[in-house]
């Protein structure tokens, strides 16, 4: 009798795995609650291997997304998905990451992201038309989001780098050198703290909050390496304080 129950159990598990393996990914996405500022289109494949033509989050468009669900992670009750997106021949971010989900938290690890600096610049409110040059590279070892406390950031470790940074402003090609920063968590928000070692004398903290809302604040304090061509831009930033700094925020 035990042998019959064992065979029946194995058959049932095999059948359920077969159903999951052949379940269309589009069916699953149609059942998920999608935030208002998130748009997903062109979903094909199965839950094990999914292709998504395009995702639009706020003003950012991500294309050519592929996901692979690890079958072994299901036994730990923390499904893990491997995700890649974009490529060097199309506009938008390019990268890869691992996403693990439980009832309590979402964990992103081994994230590698490359985005054109100009795509970031065009989403900022700036005092004059500016085009940014170069790529911004983001490397995240780990990010943990608490799903039971309004999607707060509870742990993060990583860094961002804008090497060979440059701007085109006032019909001038301006070389800025290198910018780097550390990524962490601050008061429930994902934070980027810029290193003050840069040619602009720029100190800046940026925050990514619930719902994809971005904010930031800091100062520019022109020094010996400050590009002379940008001196004409400083009055657009307002009046400098008693420490010779111009305030920035968005």
pLDDT over 50 (residue 14): no
Model-level pTM? 0.81
- Residue partners of 84: CB distance under 8 A and separation at least 6: 65, 66, 95, 96
pLDDT classification of 215: cutoffs 50, 70, 90: confident
Question: Are residues 82 and 119 both part of a single domain?
Answer: no
Percentage of residues in the chain with pLDDT exceeding 90? 27
Q: Which residue has the tokens 């701007």?
A: 167
Using CA atoms, how far apart are residues 99 and 43, in angstroms rounded to an integer? Answer: 18
Range of the domain at 230: 102-250
pLDDT of residue 78: 83
Among candidate residues 86, 101, 116, the one where a domain is terminated: 101
Question: Within this chain, do residues 89 and 25 fall inside the same structural domain, yes or no?
Answer: yes
Query: Pick from 67, 83, 101: which residue ends a domain?
Result: 101
Whether 86 and 123 map to the same domain: the answer is no
Statement to judge: residues 41 and 151 lie in one domain: no
Tens digit of pLDDT for each residue in 48-89? 788 888 888 767 788 898 988 887 777 777 888 899 998 877
Do residues 151 and 237 share a domain? Answer: yes
Judgement on whether residues 62 and 122 belong to the same structural domain of the protein: no
pLDDT at 153: 92
Task: Tell me: do 33 and 108 sit in the same domain.
Answer: no
Tokens representing residue 14 in the block = 């095999």
Same domain, 208 and 223: yes
Of 160, 172, 175, which Cα lies nearest the Cα of 232?
172
91-123 confidence digits (pLDDT tens): 889 999 999 988 888 899 999 999 998 888 877
Return all residues near 67 (Cβ < 8 A) that are at least 6 apart.
Answer: 49, 50, 52, 81, 82, 83
Does one domain contain both 67 and 142?
no
Instruction: Judge if 32 and 58 occupy the same domain.
Output: yes
**130 and 174 belong to one structural domain:** yes
Same domain, 88 and 147: no
* The last residue of a domain, from among 38, 70, 101: 101
Q: How many domains does the chain have?
A: 2
């Amino acid at each position: 009798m035990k042998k019959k129950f064992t065979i029946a159990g194995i058959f049932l598990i095999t059948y359920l795995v077969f159903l999951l393996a052949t379940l269309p990914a589009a069916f699953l996405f149609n059942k998920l609650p999608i935030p208002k500022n998130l748009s997903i289109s062109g979903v094909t494949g199965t839950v094990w291997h999914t292709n998504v033509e395009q995702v639009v989050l706020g003003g950012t468009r991500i294309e050519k997304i592929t996901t692979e669900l690890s079958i072994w992670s299901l036994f730990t009750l923390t499904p893990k998905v491997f995700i890649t997106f974009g490529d060097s021949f199309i506009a938008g971010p390019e990268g890869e990451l691992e996403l693990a989900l439980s009832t309590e938290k979402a964990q992103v690890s081994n994230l590698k992201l490359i985005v054109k600096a100009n795509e970031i610049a065009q989403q900022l409110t700036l005092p004059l038309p500016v085009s940014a040059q170069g790529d911004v590279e983001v490397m995240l070892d780990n990010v943990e989001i608490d799903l039971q406390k309004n999607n707060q950031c509870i742990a993060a470790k990583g860094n961002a780098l804008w090497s060979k940074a440059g701007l085109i402003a006032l019909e001038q090609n301006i070389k800025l050198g290198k910018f780097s920063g550390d990524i962490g968590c601050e008061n429930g928000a994902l934070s980027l703290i810029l290193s003050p070692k840069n040619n602009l004398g720029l100190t800046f903290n940026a925050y990514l909050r619930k719902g994809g809302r971005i904010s930031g604040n800091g100062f520019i304090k022109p020094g010996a390496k400050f590009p002379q061509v940008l001196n004409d831009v400083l009055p657009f930033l307002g009046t400098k304080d008693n420490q010779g700094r111009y305030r920035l925020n968005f």
